[in-house]
Structure 1
């Protein structure tokens, strides 16, 4: 699993493994360049949301 370098990710992943909500063989990789493809995938959606003034109601987001 690719994540950012924030320390909360490691804690959340270990907690999810302990609760059985995440497989035990999942490994965390904190390499910032590996996440770029995923982040750039939703750029067009972000542009549409920002240009329309954002979401007005939470349940429509």
Structure 2
């Protein structure tokens, strides 16, 4: 899953886009990251068949 997050971060940067971040007192939080599991591991035991959609909230 981490590889998917890194690939999406790189895709965002390459296009000059920015993630929505909240910073306060030296702490940075993501404005929104979501994972949607399109294949339920309870019903499909083979990890190679699992599918996940990863979404990051971008700045306006």
Q: State the TM-score, normalized to the length of structure 2.
A: 0.25
Compare the two structures and name the one with the higher helix fraction: 1
Larger Rg: 1
